[in-house]
Amino acid sequence: MRQASARIISETPSPLRTAKALVAALVLVIVTSTMTLAAPHSALVIDANTGKTLYSSDANSRRYPASLTKMMTLYLTFEALAKGKISKSTRVPFSANAAAEPPTKLGVKKGDSITVETAILSMVTKSANDAATATGEFLGGSEENFARMMTSKARALGMKSTVFRNANGLPNTGQFTTAHDMAILGIALREHFPQYYHYFSVRSFMYGKRRINGHNRLLGRIKGVDGIKTGYTRASGFNLVTSVADNGRHLVAVVMGGSSGRSRDNEMAHLIKKYLPKASRRGGGDLIAKNDNTSPVAAIAKLLPKQDAPIPGDRPETRIASTTDDGPTPPAAIPVTAVAQAYAEPEQSIDPVRTASVPSGWVVQVASTPTQAGAHHFLETTSQKAKAVLADASGFTMAFQKNGTTYYRARFGGFGSKDDAWDACRALKKKKIACYAIQQ
């Protein structure tokens, strides 16, 4: 540094210099006051058996979700599958808008399509932006309407500090979340859709002749890690939501705003190593310790209802937006007010449906298999064969030991009483589906 540069300037500043200084100061004040996403780093570790917060660092600071957004896209996809509105083989068409999304992407051309299962796999592994957009347009009629559905679902799950603007997480200043809300979504995905949760542990899949590899480097690196999702944009930093289950203990952990993928992964590995031994092997009841009033998830039992909550209304009966060289043309069947609502935080209350965790504790068991995949298969086939009977029920698996061997029960829960469970079982038997009702 030159000696002259260290001198203190004592001359009276000129009017022009003063004006520039005032403008610069004003800009600094405005920018500082409007930076709601200013937290440099957020992290949270939740005991998913009890809901207790084991570690928290700025967990309620607003952050950009990046590709963690796809967790909600997948939630709504799983919901549509569970309700029988779509199947894994249903074709998802690609509009010009979806095909034009920037990488990472599958590279599907306008007018082509992929199966719902391929879309799921591409989102959990490659984090494909084009597949996420196409799925959103397919389920919502337009990406704008799907974003409204996403935010409505977030509110229904208790994610009070999250707003979605698109299906993929590409940069949008109006799209934000918190580590707290992402933990809620991570827990909800596992609790509400155990029959589809296995997709999050997929490390690669074949797309035509190409092998698509995943981005989650903790899969296979740390024992018990079974997903969930990575995310990155320049504005968000490196994000990660991770689920780990080992020896009866289960954590959901979130790291947002990492400075690099490696540092983010290393921090997550450290959090898992430190807090997994402190997690409880016992679950059930309220999803949080009753005396825990200081954590940022002090009421996760209230914020995360164990029952799933339906989206407000069915998918609009519209076609994918037609597109010209000037851009997509909004579908005529979606009114302007519906598009406008996509940018408002919905306030409507949404009545939840019953699932496996309703307090009655009565469930219906339809199979016991030596593999979890086999149990998932029974859940899916039973759901398809008995849609009306199990419309308000939720499938789940439960591991148990017999003579030193692990088996998996396939069960449906969400019945309000013993009579409801017995009635469901009688209806299933009429459809030649073996079952019995039991209170957990």
pLDDT digits (tens, 9 = 90+) for 331-345: 333 232 232 332 222
Strand partners, 396: 411
pLDDT-based confidence at residue 421 (cuts at 50, 70, 90): confident
Looking at residue 40, its pLDDT comes to 64
- Is 229 labelled a binding residue? yes
Alpha-carbon separation of residue 332 from 93, 138, 276, 317 (angstroms): 18, 15, 52, 11
Nearest to 177, CA basis, from 156, 158, 165, 163: 163
CATH 3.40.710.10 domain residues, the chain: 42-303
Looking at residue 330, its pLDDT comes to 31
pLDDT at 90 over 70: yes
CATH value of 42-303 in 3.40.710.10, 3.40.50.1000, 3.40.718.10, 3.20.20.140: 3.40.710.10
Q: Rounded to an integer, what distance in angstroms lies between the CA atom of residue 253 and that of residue 238?
A: 14
pLDDT-based confidence at residue 398 (cuts at 50, 70, 90): confident
Looking at residue 231, its pLDDT comes to 84
Just list the catalytic residues: 67, 70, 127
CATH 3.30.70.1070 domain residues, the chain: 362-439
Confirm if 54 and 275 have CB atoms less than 8 A apart. Answer: yes
Looking at residue 392, its pLDDT comes to 67
pLDDT digits (tens, 9 = 90+) for 94-108: 999 999 998 889 999
Confirm if 51 and 190 have CB atoms less than 8 A apart. Answer: no
Confirm if 50 and 58 have CB atoms less than 8 A apart. Answer: no
pLDDT at 120 over 90: yes
Looking at residue 361, its pLDDT comes to 59
Q: Rounded to an integer, what distance in angstroms lies between the CA atom of residue 377 and that of residue 371?
A: 10
Q: Specify whether domain 362-439 bears CATH 3.20.20.30.
A: no
pLDDT-based confidence at residue 116 (cuts at 50, 70, 90): very high
pLDDT digits (tens, 9 = 90+) for 23-75: 444 443 433 333 344 446 899 999 988 889 999 999 999 999 999 999 999 99
pLDDT-based confidence at residue 271 (cuts at 50, 70, 90): very high
pLDDT digits (tens, 9 = 90+) for 185-201: 999 998 899 899 889 88
Looking at residue 220, its pLDDT comes to 67
Looking at residue 286, its pLDDT comes to 35
